[in-house]
A and B are shown apart, each in its own frame.
Chain A
């Protein structure tokens, strides 16, 4: 049933704004590059993301065609730079996609390369971690051929659900993934992972 699955420990976000740091923590924990799943490590990663965002000089508030403005709690560039600071330079990239299926392909390619991917969902207010996929034959389901694997489900960890694994159909992935509505990534789905 599994097409690819990384061993990613679960982490719960410590507050409403900490999904990005919690995702970074899960991705780095899987690579044994941070100490543990503690709140202290998550707070430290949160600070690193903010500093990385600041040094990248990216806008954390982006005006859209109509209000409200887009407020990034965790900017994709800050998240990517923080991951790379721990893994290695250029290990991950911010990968924008025009289609949800393409974004799934990018996320799962990163997983195949051994790095779980972060994906932007829910109106740019939430990050989740993609750590694998499954292929179910129990009933007829929408299926994608991604990186050589038939895929019916994406496996994610949602730090708002205490990081417990969630198996979602491709329809749910499409419904959950968010297309940014303004700014640098306008009309794109965002994945941060290895290309």
Chain B
């Protein structure tokens, strides 16, 4: 059982050490340090919550892991293969507000005007859905009193999620 981001990060670091010793993963994890460890609530029925840990070197994201909060196991790990590469953007929780401009362009091309007041809450969530098919790409679920938005970790906005597990669409 992993209780907090620090424990998740420690497990990820141990996994990174193993991967850095393998030529295939060396570019991603050798010399890379964990910079973010974020808890994610899994909304998929029967799904487990997890932590997502981002590794960087030279200011670039080079590796990323999903740590299962129930088992403590690194269930998923990804990384770059060439030194010049960078993984898709990882918006830090502290940077979410900077993405909330008055007019937000959704992934489907629609433009929405968001409330000018501060969000009432921001949760990090993931669900098996068409908008993200990997736990490595969770969402910030931004709530206001009468509305909400999903901001995917790579910067794409959605006003709803379309689950692929037979449950009804989740409206922000």
Contact = CB atoms under 8 A, between A and B. Distances in A.
Contact of A138 (B18, B47, B76, B87): B18
A136 interface: yes
Interface in A104-131: 121-123, 125-126
B73 interface: yes
Interface of B: 14-15, 18-19, 21-22, 24-25, 47, 68, 71, 73-81, 87-88, 128, 130, 133-134, 136-137, 164-165
B130 A125 contact: yes
Contacts of B22: 1-2, 134
A123 B165 contact: yes
Given A158-B133, A160-B133, A122 B128 contact: yes
Contacts of A123: 128, 164-165
A134 B18 CA distance: 12
A71 to B, nearest CB: 12
Contact of A167 (B14, B68, B77): B77
Interface of A: 1-2, 5, 10, 16, 121-123, 125-126, 134, 136, 138-139, 141, 158, 160-162, 164-169, 171-172, 175
A171 B73 contact: yes
Given A1-B22, A166-B78, A167-B78, 19 more contacts: A1-B18, A123-B164, A158-B134, A161-B78, A161-B88, A161-B134, A164-B79, A164-B87, A165-B81, A166-B136, A167-B19, A167-B77, A169-B73, A169-B74, A171-B68, A171-B71, A171-B75, A172-B76, A175-B47
Majority-rule SS of B interface residues: loop
B81 A160 contact: no
28 contacts: A5-B24, A10-B81, A16-B130, A122-B133, A123-B164, A123-B165, A125-B164, A134-B22, A138-B14, A161-B134, A161-B137, A164-B78, A164-B80, A164-B87, A165-B79, A165-B81, A166-B77, A166-B136, A167-B19, A168-B76, A169-B73, A169-B74, A169-B76, A171-B68, A171-B73, A171-B75, A172-B75, A172-B76
A161 B21 CA distance: 24
A163 to B, nearest CB: 10
Of listed B74, B79, B80, residue having the most chain A CB within 10 A: B74
A171 B77 CA distance: 14
Nearest to B21: A1
Nearest to A160: B133
Nearest to A9: B81
The 9 closest A-B pairs by CB, nearest first: A123-B164, A172-B75, A167-B77, A122-B133, A166-B78, A126-B133, A138-B18, A164-B78, A1-B22
